A and B are shown apart, each in its own frame.
Chain A
Amino acid sequence: MLEIKCPVCGVVGEESDFHGGGQAHIRRPASHDPANISDEEQRDYLFMRHNPKGLHFERWRCDRGCGKWFHAARDTVSNEFKAYYSIQELPPVELMKAATGTWAEYFKDKMVAK
C-alpha cells in the first residue's frame, strides 16, 4: 500500500484515495508540429514507455481530495516517493540529473535551478 501526499491540497492518503496516471513528461508530437507526425512518433507517444527498474516520474490524481493532477517521482523497486511537484513543473534538479532513458534526453536542456 502506498502512502501518497498531494502537493496541491496537502492531503496525505492511501493509494486508493488517488488515481495513478502512468509515465510523466511525455511529449505529445501533435502539440508541437501537427503537420509532420510520423507513425513512429505517434507510437512512441501512445505506447512506448521507459518503464525503468528504479527512478520513475509519474502522474497521479488526487481523486478523493482536491481532484487535481500532480507529478511524483518514485523508485519502482523500493516504492519510496522521492518528490511530489505540481503538474506544470519539472522535477527537482537532482532528480533530473538521476533520470534515465527518454527522460534524460527530455530534461537535458531544462536543468536550471529554480
Chain B
Amino acid sequence: MRYSIFSLARQALNYHKGWEKAWRSPELKPSYDAVIIGAGGHGLATAYYMAKEHGMTNIAVVEKGWLGGGNTGRNTTIIRSNYLQDASIAIYDLAHKLYADLSQEFNYNIMFSPRGLLMLCQTEHELRGFQRTAHANRIAGLECEIIDRKRVKELVPIINDRDDARYPILGAYYQASGGTARHDGVAWGYARGADKMGVDIIQNCEVTGLQREGDQIVGVETTKGTIKTNKVGVVTAGHTSHIMQMAGVQMPIESVCLQAMVSEPIKPIIDVVVMANTVHGYMSQSDKGELVIGGGADAYNNYAQRGSFTSLEHTATALVETFPIISRLKMMRQWGGIVDMTGDRSPIISMTDVKGLYVNGGWGTGGFKSIPGSGFVFADTIANDRPHPVAEPFGLKRFVRGEFIDESVASGVAH
C-alpha cells in the first residue's frame, strides 16, 4: 500500500481499519539464493539493494530477535561524513547522500533531519586535528567549516563558553548537512522496501550453525530449520566474532558495550547535534523533546547488553560541564548495545577465505550513519562475488598488509 495524504484520508474515513501490515511474516523456505544473517539496518539495507540493484529477490534475512531490535534501535541516530581518510569519506559520504533521498525512495518517512553537527574543539590539539580533517574533507568535496567560539555560541546558546571552563571552547568543526534520522524508521523502511520486492524477512530465527563443504559455504542452521544456500552475508555487528566462529573464521574484533540515555522530554533547547570528543559526550534533542546522550564505550569484552555505571557517570559529568543548563534534568531511560571494535576502529566489509561467506561488521560505535552506503556496497560485493571499489579498502586483508584506515586518531571517541 502506498502511503500518501489520500491514503491517510481514505483510512481516516474508514476508522483506520484498512491499513495493511508493512511487511509479511513468511515461512522459512528450505533454500535461498542468498541468506543475510541479521535484520538490523545494515542487513536489511543489504537485502534491499541486492533485490533492487541486482535483481536477487530469492533471498532471506534471518534475525534472532525482532528486526531493528539490536544496535539499530540502540544508537543515538547521528549522521555525518566528516572522516579524515579517503576510504572513510567515500563510504560515509555515499551513505549520507543516500540518506537524503531515502524517505522519498521508500515512500516511508525516516525523519532525516540534516540539522547541522558540531564537533567541539576544546584543546589546541583537537582544534588543529579538526582543521586537518576540514582540509581533507574540502579536498574530497564535503562542505564543512571551522567556526570560532562566537559562532558556536550563536548555534548552541546553551553551551558553556566561559574562558575558565576546564576545557574551554576554542572553536568547532561544523558540518551543516550532518544531523539525525529516526533509527527505527530506517530499519522499517528498508524492511518494507525489501519485503515488497519479495525478500523473506524471518524474525525470531536464531542462527545456530554455518555449514561448510570444504571451502564452500552450503547452508545455515537456524532454530527454525536448516537453509540450503551458497551465499551467506553475516551482518551481525556486536556478534560478528560469534557467528563467524561457526564457520571457523577468526575475526580481528572485540565486542564491548556502548551505552546511551535519554532525558525526560523538555522544550526545545538545542537544534543541532553537538559532539564533545575531548570530554567524551555527545548530545542532540529528539522531536519528542528528549535529550539523546551518548558517550564512550566500556573497556572490557561484554555480550550482556548492559554496561557499567562508570561510563554513564563519565558522560553525564562531561555534558553537565559543557551544558550547565542540563544539570538538574532527570534521565528517563538508559541502555547498552554490543559493538564490534577493530584494531584501527574502521569497519570490515569483506570477502573471506570461505567461498560464499561475506562479512560486514566491525562498525565500532558509529554504524548507524553508514547504513545505506554499507548496504549498497555489501549487496554489490555479494551479488558479484568481488569487493565493491568503495568496500575494497575495508577488506580483511588490510590487517595482513598493514593498510589500516586509521580513524581513531581523527575522530576520538565518538566515532
Contact = CB atoms under 8 A, between A and B. Distances in A.
A46 B401 CA distance: 12
* Category for how many chain B residues contact A: 20 to 34
B107 interface: no
Interface stretch (B3-11, B56-64, B124-132, B239-247): B239-247
Interface stretch (A12-20, A28-36, A91-99): A12-20
Contacts of B308: 1-2, 15
A10 interface: no
A47 B399 contact: yes
Contact of A51 (B301, B399, B400, B402): B301
Interface stretch (B81-89, B163-171, B248-256): B248-256
A1 to B, nearest CB: 5
B242 A53 contact: yes
B335 interface: no
Instruction: Name the prevailing secondary structure of the B interface residues.
Output: mixed
B353 to A, nearest CB: 11
Q: Is the interface of A mostly helix, strand, loop or mixed?
A: mixed
A16 B310 contact: yes
Nearest to A78: B304
Given A2-B308, A56-B301, A77-B303, A49 B400 contact: no
Band of interface residues on A: 20 to 34
A56 B342 CA distance: 18
Interface in B57-75: none
A1 B400 contact: no
A50 B241 contact: yes
A20 B300 contact: yes
Nearest to B307: A1
A76 B302 contact: yes
B254 A22 contact: yes
Given A22-B254, A77-B304, 14 more contacts: A1-B309, A16-B310, A23-B301, A39-B402, A46-B343, A47-B252, A48-B250, A49-B253, A51-B251, A51-B255, A52-B242, A53-B303, A76-B301, A76-B303
Interface of B: 239, 241-242, 245, 250-255, 299-304, 308-310, 342-343, 399-402
